[in-house]
């Protein structure tokens, strides 16, 4: 019962939950709405898996956990193996693992400033 309009940004954490959430159209539509809304989206680790089902992956520049990057690549995304990737066009900030949190948090803080 929530709307993208109710929020200023979306943070998608990692772990295995995003893989389970991407089979539920409600969550996929919510994420897609954010990607299309010109609002900040932040995702780390396995979080970017949700972008595959959105149908928008081919427009995105991002990174993710090692095992997720090939899936995103085959979905058409521009995938980089860097600690943090900022896709300014889509207001998307992604990161690979908790080891990259300092860089990820720095970019999130800058985006929200």
**Catalytic residue positions, numbered:** 45-46
For the chain, the farthest-separated pair of C-alpha atoms sits apart, in whole angstroms, at 36
Report yes or no: 90 and 60 within 8 Å, Cβ to Cβ: yes
Residues 108 and 23: their CA atoms lie apart, in Å, by 27
Q: Which residues pair with 42 in a beta bridge?
A: 11, 93
């Amino acid at each position: 019962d929530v709307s993208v309009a109710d929020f200023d940004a979306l943070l998608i954490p990692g772990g295995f939950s995003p893989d389970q959430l991407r089979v539920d159209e409600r969550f996929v539509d919510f994420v897609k709405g954010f990607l299309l809304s010109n609002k900040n989206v932040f995702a780390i680790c396995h979080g970017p898996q949700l972008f595959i089902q959105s149908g928008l992956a081919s427009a995105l520049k991002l990174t993710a956990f090692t095992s997720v990057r090939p899936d995103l690549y085959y979905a058409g995304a521009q995938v980089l193996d860097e600690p943090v990737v900022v896709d300014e066009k889509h207001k998307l900030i992604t990161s690979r693992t908790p080891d990259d949190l300092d860089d990820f948090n720095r970019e999130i803080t800058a985006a929200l400033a």
